[in-house]
Amino acid sequence: MIKAILIFNNHGKPRLIRFYQYFTEDMQQQIIRETFHLVSKRDDNVCNFLEGGSLIGGSDYKLIYRHYATLYFVFCVDSSESELGILDLIQVFVETLDKCFENVCELDLIFHMDKVHYILQEVVMGGMVLETNMNEIVAQVEVQNRLEKSEVLNCLFCHVNSSPINREATKPAVPDQHRLRPL
C-alpha cells in the first residue's frame, strides 16, 4: 500500500499532497516538513530509499523518492510494495505528466494542481497501484479532458460563460533546467 504521495519543491513548498490515510491538516504539514527535511539533505547520487519518517507510518514504511530538477516526488509505502517498482512508478507518473503538459515544469504543477491530481488518480487509487501503462493513463486522462471540454462547450452554447478550468492559452517559456525532464 501507498500511504502518501507528496510532491514539493527544493524549498519544501508543497505542490501536491495526497494522503491515503487521514491526517489532520496540521499533521499533514508537519509530515511534509519532516519529509522535506529528510529528503532535502540527501545528495542526488545516494540511494532513493529512506527509512524513518517518524510521523508517518512506522518501521514498516519507507520513503521512496525521486528528485527531478526543482521537484521532489516522494512516495511513502509499506513493505508490500516493491521498492524498485515504486521507483518505476514515479518515473511513469512523471513521464505521464510530461506528456499531458508537454514538457512539464514546476509551474504546471503550481497552476494546475487539480489536473495533476486527476492524472495521479489514474495511476494510484486509494493507495494501490491502478495502472502502470503510460499510454493507457494518458488515454484515459485525455478522454476525460475531452469530456470536460465538451461540457464546457455545451455550457458556452447555453449561456455565455467562460470556463473556470481553462488552461492558460500561452504558457510562459520554461528555462531548460526547470523542465522535469524524465531520465
143 touches other proteins by CB under 8 A? yes
In the window 15-54, what residues touch other proteins (CB under 8 A)? 16-18, 20, 22, 24-26, 28-29, 42-43, 45-51
Q: In angstroms, rounded to a whole number, what is the distance separating the alpha carbons of residues 101 and 121? A: 16
Q: Residues 99-128 vs other proteins: string with x where CB under 8 A?
A: -----------xxxxx--xx--x---xxxx
Q: Of these, 40, 67, 69, 83, which contacts other proteins (CB under 8 A)?
A: 83
Check if the beta carbon of residue 20 is closer than 8 Å to that of residue 2.
yes
3-class SS of residue 63: strand
Q: How many CB atoms lie within 10 A of CB 148?
A: 13
Q: Distance between CA 71 and CA 118 in Å, rounded?
A: 19
At its nearest, how many Å lie between other proteins and the CB of residue 122? 9
Does 60 contact other proteins by CB under 8 A?
Answer: no
From 132, 174, 179, 182, residue interacting with other proteins (rule: CB under 8 A): 132
| C-beta separation of 110 from 101 below 8 A | no
Applying CB under 8 A, the residues found at the interface with other proteins are 1, 14, 16-18, 20, 22, 24-26, 28-29, 42-43, 45-51, 80, 82-85, 87-88, 110-114, 117-118, 121, 125-133, 136, 140, 143-144, 147-148, 151-152, 155, 159-162, 164-165, 168
